[in-house]
């Protein structure tokens, strides 16, 4: 074996040009696959970093129309009280609080959790203790807090005596009872935990949308997801009379926590893995073609070895040793390349896999790279090895015999070129469909003016703004201060700005008061607004009026503004103005109709949406500021204006409306960019492969070309001869590739927007691009063939 390796190494060193090209090709292919697989491994294959994480599940309410919904506080209590299949159940309600008294005021993100939360995950604090049942009970001390390791380090300098110390969150004093270990929670951005106290607060206990939360649980040993789901569905049916009317047809669905966190990313990462796998196959085809060409020049050597008694198996072993050695060197280079590519890939894609989960080269990824390397070496090495293992001794041992290409070897080279072309067409069409879809998304009218709008969020402490009226006046004062800044054209407030919240974050059931038979499953989004929100964001008023200052008083009549979708679906051809709408447990008079807004993503159709004065729903605050200057240049002055109203008031998530829209396009942009890179790489590799085969074919036919030219063939005829041979293979590959791309387009159809998966424009452009590139790859060797000197060519024979 060592002698085979030494001989293989000498063979590679004898042909440095071939070796360098093959190694670069393999390193790029294996490196790209290694980098993408590291993401797949972290997102889809690796278990969550908790003990027996496969038993941790997330529980959802399941609307009858499909999908899933967070649970309300009362529903969580039902599940917790009646389950026998789950050993523990916990609720998590995400919150944002202002941390003051520890340097500059800052808004931090945390969670209200029930007492069993850390027990479900089997996480123990690094310092202090976790929550006890009495901390979460009606008579317990709710003002206790557990800090994340990251917050402990950044705001409290890792003070080892932090346990027992008091900190202020939203003006309330909380006693620190524990500090979590680094990366203890997969949920990124959770800085602190406080008790949810659902059983202590009546307003959290209804089964509607008063208090929504994520619910997780840990299955008992031997229990299954199906058993737990059937049990909770039975509980739901037994308690159905106590549920709101619209929820009575609902059920329960359960999935693993891993699936809940990463299930939505599966189509994207698997698409990228498939694409980069195709690039590796094209690279293998290229190297196989190089080895076939190299094998022709070694036919004499192989014939001598056979004549001296070497068996076909011995020859194949030697040639596979050379292929595997080439693959191992290329694979090692690919792993190094992948190691440095992974941080760039993660940074570019913005992939977040949760705390404690790292994307990088570990034993699993190395195992994948090794398996890929070996498979690659066998894949591109076996065909050339078999093709030269049984040489024609009479032909190749003749004195002066030249390397020649057998018919079978020609067929194999042709098959490889066709295969490369097919795979290239599939990648090009896939990238083309995504590009056309992306352009369509960019051209979509969002229903608002995203230019020159600064956005940020505030959290108002309950102690400083104890009533709805206090909160409304607080925002009114801030808006007035901001509007006094030079360069500000207007300011407004909403519960959320467009493109900043997931679907269903602010959602409720709406119905017409004058029609009791209105369907109870009409869901609509809602926002509370104040100031010049509609003018600042550029949402046109179509009928009626906008809110006035008088509408935003605590004792003002309840009025509401609806969008076109609500008007069309609930009122049809009737005029909605003056009608009564029931939503948010109250009745409202419709005073205005505004245009539809794509509230969540550009590629998601506008949904029903209503707007109420801020004083009636003042719990979430996002500020919008229209500027005459680049928005971020006024960020410092805006911050000072807010602190002029309240020196302890921090602002969070400062950015622009343009950036919010851009973030919703991130997944599409990432997929398009990476797939385009892979498609271009495939096209380049395919053209290199076509060029290499045609150049080799021309070199093998030097004598024939010389005779043709000597007999009077012109340059055009020689070029036509070479082009015909090369383009015939490309056309066959193009035809098969179009068929294959239809299947790929169908798989991508869920990611396309206003583009058919068999879009004729994309297919046509890809065909022209490929034919043009292939024509150039064939023309260069053809042009060289016209320069053959007949005298020199014939003399060489």
Q: Residue 654: exposed, middle, or buried by beta-carbon count in 10 A (0-12, 13-18, 19+)?
A: middle
Query: Would the pLDDT of 379 be above 90?
Result: no
Query: Would the pLDDT of 784 be above 80?
Result: no
- pLDDT reported for residue 401: 45
Half-sphere exposure of 15 (CA within 13 A, CB side): 18
Q: By the 8 A CB rule, do 88 and 288 touch?
A: no
The neighbouring-strand residues paired with 88 are 218
Under DSSP, the state recorded for 181 is P
What's the token pair of residue 665?
A: 């396009």
CA dihedral 764, 770, 771, 773 (to 10 degrees): 140
Between 22-31, 236-245, 491-500, the lowest mean confidence (pLDDT) is in: 22-31
Q: Which residues lie below 8 Å from residue 99, measured CB to CB, with a gap of 6+?
A: 105, 106, 107, 108, 155, 167, 168, 169
Query: Would the pLDDT of 392 be above 70?
Result: no
Query: pLDDT tens digits, residue range 122-170?
Result: 999 999 999 999 999 888 888 999 999 999 999 999 999 999 999 999 8
Beta-sheet strands, E only, within 104-211: 106-113, 127-128, 144-147, 166-169, 172-179, 192-195
Q: By the 8 A CB rule, do 634 and 485 touch?
A: yes
Under DSSP, the state recorded for 180 is P
Half-sphere exposure of 715 (CA within 13 A, CB side): 9
> What DSSP line would sit under 292-304, residue for residue?
HHHHHHTHHHHHH
- pLDDT reported for residue 353: 63
State the first-to-last Cα distance of the chain, in angstroms, to the nearest integer. Answer: 39
Q: By the 8 A CB rule, do 90 and 257 touch?
A: no
**Whole-angstrom distance, CA of residue 304 vs CA of residue 397:** 7
Query: Would the pLDDT of 702 be above 80?
Result: no
> What DSSP line would sit under 671-726, residue for residue?
HHHHHHHHHHHHHHHHHHHHHHHHHHHHHHTHHHHHHHHHTT--HHHHHHHHHHHH
Average pLDDT over residues 272-284: 87
- pLDDT reported for residue 403: 45
Query: Would the pLDDT of 12 be above 80?
Result: no
Query: Would the pLDDT of 293 be above 80?
Result: no
Task: Convert 139-161 to b/e letters by CB count within 10 Å (16 or more is b).
Answer: ebebebbbbbbbbbeebbeeeee
**Whole-angstrom distance, CA of residue 754 vs CA of residue 440:** 7
Query: Would the pLDDT of 432 be above 70?
Result: yes
**Whole-angstrom distance, CA of residue 127 vs CA of residue 149:** 10
User: Of residues 689 and 487, which shows the higher confidence score?
Assistant: 487
**Whole-angstrom distance, CA of residue 438 vs CA of residue 664:** 12
**Whole-angstrom distance, CA of residue 700 vs CA of residue 694:** 10
- pLDDT reported for residue 335: 92
Query: pLDDT tens digits, residue range 728-783?
Result: 888 999 999 999 999 989 988 888 899 999 999 999 999 999 999 888 888 887 77
- pLDDT reported for residue 177: 97
Query: Would the pLDDT of 631 be above 90?
Result: yes
Query: pLDDT tens digits, residue range 460-472?
Result: 877 777 888 889 9
Between 89-98, 285-294, 575-584, the lowest mean confidence (pLDDT) is in: 285-294
Cβ neighbours, 10 Å, residue 764: 11
**Whole-angstrom distance, CA of residue 262 vs CA of residue 42:** 10
Dihedrals phi, psi of 543, to nearest 5 degrees: -150, 155
Query: Would the pLDDT of 112 be above 60?
Result: yes
* Average pLDDT of the chain to the nearest whole number: 86
Task: Convert 377-406 to b/e letters by CB count within 10 Å (16 or more is b).
Answer: bbbbbbbbbbbbbebeeeebeeeeeeeebe
Average pLDDT over residues 247-267: 88
Q: Strand 86-100 and strand 71-72: pairing?
A: unpaired
User: Of residues 530 and 508, which shows the higher confidence score?
Assistant: 530
- pLDDT reported for residue 402: 47
**Whole-angstrom distance, CA of residue 9 vs CA of residue 3:** 10
- pLDDT reported for residue 42: 81
Between 397-406, 502-511, 669-678, 683-692, the lowest mean confidence (pLDDT) is in: 397-406
> Considering the entire predicted model, what is its pTM?
0.79
Query: pLDDT tens digits, residue range 317-337?
Result: 777 888 888 889 999 999 998
Q: Which residues lie below 8 Å from residue 617, measured CB to CB, with a gap of 6+?
A: 495, 526, 528, 584
The neighbouring-strand residues paired with 559 are 589
Dihedrals phi, psi of 452, to nearest 5 degrees: 55, 45
- pLDDT reported for residue 399: 44
- pLDDT reported for residue 518: 56
What's the token pair of residue 449?
A: 């003016």
**Whole-angstrom distance, CA of residue 453 vs CA of residue 630:** 9
- pLDDT reported for residue 779: 84
The residue among 744, 677, 774, 773 whose CA lies nearest residue 433 is 744
pLDDT-derived band at 4, boundaries 50, 70, 90: low
Average pLDDT over residues 545-557: 94
Q: By the 8 A CB rule, do 359 and 346 touch?
A: yes
- The alpha carbon of 765 is separated from its chain's Cα centroid by a whole number of angstroms, namely 27
Highest-scoring range by mean pLDDT, 72-86, 297-311, 702-716: 72-86
**Whole-angstrom distance, CA of residue 184 vs CA of residue 150:** 10
What's the token pair of residue 31?
A: 């490196």
Q: By the 8 A CB rule, do 697 and 295 touch?
A: no
**Whole-angstrom distance, CA of residue 143 vs CA of residue 135:** 8
Q: By the 8 A CB rule, do 576 and 542 touch?
A: no
Query: Would the pLDDT of 355 be above 70?
Result: no
Three-class DSSP category at 649 = coil
Average pLDDT over residues 8-34: 82
């Amino acid at each position: 074996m060592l002698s085979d390796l030494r001989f293989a190494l000498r063979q590679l060193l004898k042909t440095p040009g071939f070796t360098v090209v093959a190694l670069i090709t393999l390193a790029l292919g294996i490196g790209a696959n290694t980098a993408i697989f590291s993401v797949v491994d972290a997102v889809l294959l690796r278990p969550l970093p908790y003990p027996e994480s496969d038993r941790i599940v997330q529980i959802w309410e399941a609307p009858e129309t499909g999908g899933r919904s967070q649970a309300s506080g009362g529903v969580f209590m039902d599940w917790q009280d009646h389950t026998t299949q789950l050993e523990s159940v916990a609720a998590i309600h995400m919150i944002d609080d202002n941390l003051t008294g520890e340097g500059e005021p800052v808004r931090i993100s945390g969670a209200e959790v029930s007492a069993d939360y850390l027990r479900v995950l089997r996480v123990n604090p690094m310092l202090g203790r976790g929550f006890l049942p009495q901390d979460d009970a009606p008579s317990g001390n709710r003002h206790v807090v557990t800090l994340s390791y990251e917050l402990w380090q950044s705001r409290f300098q890792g003070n080892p005596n932090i346990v027992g110390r008091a900190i202020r969150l939203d003006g309330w004093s909380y006693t620190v009872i524990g500090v979590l270990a680094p990366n203890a929670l997969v949920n990124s951005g959770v800085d602190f935990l406080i008790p949810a106290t659902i059983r202590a607060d009546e307003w959290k206990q209804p089964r509607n949308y008063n208090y929504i939360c994520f619910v997780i649980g840990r299955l008992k040993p031997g229990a299954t997801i199906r058993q737990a789901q059937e049990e909770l569905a039975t509980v739901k049916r037994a308690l159905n009379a106590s549920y709101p009317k619209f929820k009575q047809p609902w059920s329960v669905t359960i999935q693993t926590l891993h699936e809940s966190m990463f299930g939505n990313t599966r189509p994207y990462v698997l698409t990228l893995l498939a694409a980069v796998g195709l690039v590796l196959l094209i690279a293998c085809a290229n190297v196989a073609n190089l080895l076939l060409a190299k094998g022709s020049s070694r036919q004499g050597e192989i014939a001598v070895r056979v004549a001296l008694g070497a068996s076909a198996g011995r020859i194949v072993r030697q040639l596979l040793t050379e292929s595997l050695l080439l693959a191992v060197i290329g694979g090692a280079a690919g792993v190094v390349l992948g190691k440095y590519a992974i941080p760039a890939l993660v940074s570019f894609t913005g992939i977040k896999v949760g705390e404690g989960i790292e994307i990088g080269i570990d034993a699993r990824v190395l195992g994948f790279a090794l398996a890929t390397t070996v498979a690659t070496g066998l894949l591109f090495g076996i065909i050339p090895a078999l093709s030269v293992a049984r040489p024609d001794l009479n032909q190749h041992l003749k004195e002066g015999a030249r390397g020649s290409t057998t018919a079978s070897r020609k067929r194999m080279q042709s098959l490889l070129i066709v295969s490369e072309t097919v795979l290239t067409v599939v990648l090009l069409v896939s990238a083309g469909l995504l590009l056309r879809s992306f352009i369509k998304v960019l051209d979509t009218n969002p229903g608002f003016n995203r230019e020159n709008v600064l956005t940020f969020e505030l959290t108002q402490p309950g102690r400083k703004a104890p009533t709805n009226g206090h909160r409304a006046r607080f925002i009114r004062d801030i808006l007035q201060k901001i509007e006094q800044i030079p360069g500000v054209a207007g300011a407004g407030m909403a519960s959320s700005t467009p493109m900043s919240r997931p679907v269903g974050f602010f959602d409720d059931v709406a119905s017409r008061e004058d029609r009791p038979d209105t369907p109870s499953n009409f869901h609509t989004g809602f926002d509370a607004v104040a100031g010049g929100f509609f003018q600042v964001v550029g949402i046109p008023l179509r009928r009626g009026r906008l809110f006035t200052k008088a509408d935003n008083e605590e004792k003002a009549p309840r009025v509401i503004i609806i969008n076109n979708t609500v008007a069309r679906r609930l009122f049809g051809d009737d005029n909605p103005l003056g009608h009564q709408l029931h939503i948010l447990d109250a009745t409202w008079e419709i005073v205005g109709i505004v245009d539809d807004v794509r509230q969540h993503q550009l590629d998601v159709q506008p949904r029903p949406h209503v707007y109420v004065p801020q004083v009636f729903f003042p719990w979430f605050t996002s500020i919008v500021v229209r500027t005459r200057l680049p928005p971020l240049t006024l960020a410092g002055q805006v911050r000072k204006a807010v602190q002029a109203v309240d020196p302890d008031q921090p602002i969070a998530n400062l950015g622009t409306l343009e950036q919010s829209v851009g973030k919703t396009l991130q997944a599409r942009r990432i997929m398009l960019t990476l797939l385009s890179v892979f498609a271009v790489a495939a096209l380049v590799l395919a053209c290199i492969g076509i060029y290499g085969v045609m150049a080799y074919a021309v070199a093998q036919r030097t004598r024939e070309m010389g005779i043709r030219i000597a007999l009077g063939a012109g340059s055009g005829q020689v070029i036509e001869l070479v082009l015909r041979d090369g383009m015939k293979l490309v056309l066959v590959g193009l035809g098969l590739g179009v068929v294959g791309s239809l299947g790929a387009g169908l798989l991508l159809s869920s990611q396309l927007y206003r583009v058919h998966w068999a879009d004729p424009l994309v297919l046509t452009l890809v065909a022209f691009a490929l034919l043009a590139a292939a024509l150039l790859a064939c023309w260069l060797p053809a042009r060289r063939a016209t320069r053959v000197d007949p005298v020199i060519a014939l003399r060489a024979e």
